[in-house]
Amino acid sequence: MKYSNLNTFIQSEPSELLLNSLQIDVNQVVSRKKIMLTCFSDGNLKALLQAKDDETFFVGFDFFTLLQKLQRFNLIPPLTAHLKILPEEYPQKIAEFTITVYKNDDSLYGALTVFISEKNTNILYCAGFTQNGAHQKRIKTWKKVARKLQLAALILNSQMRQPNASQQPFSENGIQKHFGKVISQLHPSAKLVLSPWNPERLQHFNEIATSHEKALIWTPNFAHLIHFFYPQEVLLTSKDTHTAAALLLVDPTQDSTPQKIDYLDPTLQAKALTAGKYQWTASGNFNKSLTFLDENALKELKDDLRPARIIFLER
């Protein structure tokens, strides 16, 4: 379906945010020559890996930086996509729209929320967010901006909507506490598979292991990735002498996956490990700790931000 402007878009029930000259995030296919990516997902990474010469991808600085380092350390294939960095909190003209991006927290690295304006119409697009993450101030910041605008629509991913949201996924603090509890009981040479999508979490995992007097033996590519973001962090790799209490990080993209994994990062999907040749970019390896919204939570959100409509994009 083709949308000529924001007003046409918000009268529809779309599955993707497709505007006349701009697409924001990707499910199955890229439908515009200008594409904005606001988060890590299998669709977004697939679009970058299959990019055409006439496509331009707009990304935030953190997203861009992590993409560059993931390529440099051979965690994702080389990209030939044409990337442009969007400065945060500064309005930019893209096609016929004015775009302003703010940092977001969806439990992975580099997420953004996007304010899109055309003439007198404003919409807020947020693929998903967590209110129990490491960066709650980011959520408060874009909500504060949203309250000052007369929003025609707040657009969220359908994963945010849950009929019964009484059971929320782990918070970031909960993930780290659980990790500490698990590794404190693991035997020497236990096998761990961790995700590359959040360097902050990896650094915290290393600190937690040290506090439990356990040494994580990182693969060189993961060690390089963490060292870029945290140059002072002390990391052991397979080149170091294994201590008696060492826990071994396994890179299933380089080595055959052991039959038994003692800890799997909650971002990753277990069945992907047994689905043949493993890739970090495989579908299902981008699980997020989003804040589920039931009817009461939706009412609170609408009363807070006062959008004319809340739209959920189906995936």
Phi-psi region of 74 (alpha: psi -120 to 50; beta: other; left: phi over 0): left
- Kindly report the backbone phi and psi dihedral angles of residue 263, in degrees, each rounded to the nearest multiple of 5, phi listed first: -150, 130
SS3 label, residue 121: strand
Give the per-residue pLDDT at 256.
Answer: 63
What is the average per-residue pLDDT within 203-219? Answer: 92
Q: Does the pLDDT at position 44 exceed 90?
A: yes
pLDDT in tens, 165-178: 566 677 899 999 99
Q: Does the pLDDT at position 307 exceed 80?
A: yes
Is 173 in contact with 142 (CB distance < 8 Å)?
no
Greatest mean pLDDT among 30-34, 108-112, 128-132, 262-266 lies in 108-112
Q: Residue 188 is encoded by which pair of tokens?
A: 């020497």
Q: Residue 285 is encoded by which pair of tokens?
A: 């390896």
Q: For the chain, what is the radius of gyration of the CA atoms?
A: 20
Pairwise CA distance, residues 46 & 26, whole Å:
9
Q: Does the pLDDT at position 101 exceed 50?
A: yes
Mean pLDDT of the chain: 88
Pairwise CA distance, residues 227 & 133, whole Å:
23
* Reported confidence tier of residue 16, pLDDT bands at 50, 70, 90: confident
**Order of all β-strands in the sheet with 236-237:** 236-237, 215-218, 246-249, 191-193, 263-264
SS3 label, residue 229: helix
Beta carbons within 8 Å of 55's beta carbon, 6+ residues apart: 30, 33, 34, 35, 81, 82
CA dist 219 to 159, 178, 224, 247, 251, Å? 33, 22, 9, 11, 7
Beta carbons within 8 Å of 300's beta carbon, 6+ residues apart: none
Helix, strand, coil % (nearest 5) of the chain?
30, 20, 50
CA atoms within 13 A on the CB side of 211: 11
Give the per-residue pLDDT at 1.
Answer: 42
Q: Does the pLDDT at position 265 exceed 60?
A: yes
